[in-house]
Structure 1
């Protein structure tokens, strides 16, 4: 009888542990794994938010950069971490959607191995041409390419840029050829030098060239115009309704992290994202501030995976 009672007491104690842990959370430093190098956009935005939120939560937030394999190395480290709220990751559309379909094998399941916490920020890509080009819209670009036998070469400094071109190629049925680059610098140089027709890149990367008049933005790839590139229409407004490609950053925890901890983190990030100074700084860094519930982020992720699985499979894209 004593054995049964002891066993029951242990079971109750184990069951109560997560609840007790959630009540005292956070009681030590929190680590956010960024699956990209220090100084990259996701890293800079994460460090800025971590500094603000650490003050609200009363604990330091440490950034742990673990780049490699398109973000898979750092993301896998979070998937295998103890689900206690002290190891998180700043996920992206690459790590939590695209890589699942671009890589033949990855060591985690983006849809099942994480608890969504909050959408942090989004940004569109920008379709741009050299400043001296007569083209002023994405529709003009497509119409011009349609009458050009050799098609058009488009610089692609990222996976997101590649998807923009593949989707536009599918929707317009014209010959667009993506030319991969490892960064924006050489791509912009080649575009200005006349070796390319256009480029698809982030607002942050292209902003100085647009402001200097070296490049001209034809369109943004979000469903609506973006505050990050004022005055530039969306591709969806230029004859391709529903065209929507955005990159994003969202916070995730390992699967099994207690719901009260998820809600504590969600509330802290939403509070920070609603501050005018935070929103302004994120816009300067190239992100449109987001926010919202864990449930919304979970549904968004499912929609994104369904959408891009089809596009990537149709185009036969592979990262390895």
Structure 2
């Protein structure tokens, strides 16, 4: 005898199916995590090989793969201020097999680029910050100023004549100079270059008077006496430069600028898999070899929780939007 399905019975079956789906989803995620990783993991880096971000990615990746038991392949996708890499990572399948080595660019770019195809917070889940390296205000050895106060005094006596180099428009050295302008009222001429190397070379040669440089990159030239540091944009003095004051000590309040990078994964990556990635990353960052390598480059090792990294990102996004808006820095 055929049984007729009533409307109420159909709705009941549908409700049961939905309930079963939600009940099975966590189990499915757990099962995925139990088998993770079952193949090589790709870490996307938005800069060329041998650069600072690439070096960090390879050091951390090599330690993580020992814990995870699968190779971590570094995929260098340079271009567009790292936006090409970020866009590709944001569109990747959220299964734990794509990691993204984010940098300060992911905090600055949303404020200066008008055509981004990703959202730093909405399209990614933060894992942990890997390292930070403060900026240093350096000048050519022939520049008359020996302190930040003297530089400000000189610049105000010669309006528009101060030239500061950067690694490119919209990058952290450029925004650091704009922040310096906001905090001091100093007018300067921005001289953008295609990379930190050419910018530093012209500071050394006296083509430009100075600029903000990441400690990691600037330390060798400073120690060699090839360029003069005026102040570090960190909360405390650097161990490698104990005689160089912080910006606050030099009289510039609320001025902390540091290049940083950190691991992120595409939004939607299952929590159990993210937990495994986070555990592997934090274990890697506690490795004595990593600590020694980073400290030798005037960098501080990260290892914060995902929640702490997210809070840091939110603050960075707010800070650099304020600076970019005030300075009217825009890139189409």
Note the C-alpha offset of 1:222.
2.0
1:255-294 to structure 2, matched below 5 A, reads: 255-294=267-306
Whichever of the two has the greater Rg, that structure is 2
Task: Judge conservation of contact 1:41–1:285 (CA < 8 Å) in 2.
Answer: no
Note the C-alpha offset of 1:276.
2.4
Q: 2:130 aligned to 109, 120, 127, which one?
A: 120
Note the C-alpha offset of 1:203.
2.1
Q: What secondary structure, in the 3-state scheme, does the structure 1 residue paired with 2:296 have?
A: helix
Note the C-alpha offset of 1:10.
5.5
- In structure 2, the CA distance between the partners of 1:247 and 1:63, relative to structure 1 (3 Å rule), is same
Q: 1:207 aligned to 202, 205, 219, which one?
A: 219
Q: Deviations over 1:93-142 (max 9, x none)?
A: 10x21111111111111121111100100011111112344432222211
Note the C-alpha offset of 1:151.
3.3
Does 1:300 find its partner at 2:312? yes
Tell me which residue corresponds to 1:97.
Answer: 107
1:1-320 to structure 2, matched below 5 A, reads: 12-94=23-105, 96-158=106-168, 159-227=171-239, 229-320=241-332
Task: Judge conservation of contact 1:223–1:242 (CA < 8 Å) in 2.
Answer: no
- In structure 2, the CA distance between the partners of 1:10 and 1:308, relative to structure 1 (3 Å rule), is closer
Note the C-alpha offset of 1:13.
3.5
- In structure 2, the CA distance between the partners of 1:228 and 1:272, relative to structure 1 (3 Å rule), is farther
More deviation in 130-139 or 285-294? 130-139
Task: Judge conservation of contact 1:228–1:287 (CA < 8 Å) in 2.
Answer: no
Partners of 1:261 and 1:308 in 2: how far apart? Answer: 31
Partners of 1:308 and 1:183 in 2: how far apart? Answer: 20
Task: Judge conservation of contact 1:164–1:221 (CA < 8 Å) in 2.
Answer: no
Q: What secondary structure, in the 3-state scheme, does the structure 2 residue paired with 1:119 have?
A: strand
Partners of 1:39 and 1:255 in 2: how far apart? Answer: 28
RMSD (CA atoms):
2.2
Partners of 1:59 and 1:194 in 2: how far apart? Answer: 49
Partners of 1:41 and 1:299 in 2: how far apart? Answer: 24
- In structure 2, the CA distance between the partners of 1:173 and 1:261, relative to structure 1 (3 Å rule), is same
Aligned pair count?
319
- In structure 2, the CA distance between the partners of 1:67 and 1:194, relative to structure 1 (3 Å rule), is closer
Partners of 2:278 and 2:243 in 1: how far apart? Answer: 33
Structure 1 unaligned blocks of 5 or more = none
Task: Judge conservation of contact 1:157–1:200 (CA < 8 Å) in 2.
Answer: no
Q: What secondary structure, in the 3-state scheme, does the structure 1 residue paired with 2:322 have?
A: helix
Partners of 1:308 and 1:273 in 2: how far apart? Answer: 27
Note the C-alpha offset of 1:25.
2.2
Partners of 1:34 and 1:186 in 2: how far apart? Answer: 21
Note the C-alpha offset of 1:81.
1.2
Structure 2 unaligned blocks of 5 or more = 1-8
More deviation in 30-39 or 2-11? 2-11
Note the C-alpha offset of 1:219.
1.1
Task: Judge conservation of contact 2:100–2:263 (CA < 8 Å) in 1.
Answer: yes
When the two structures are superposed, what TM-score results if normalisation uses the length of structure 2? 0.89
Q: Deviations over 1:25-55 (max 9, x none)?
A: 2222211111111121101110011111111
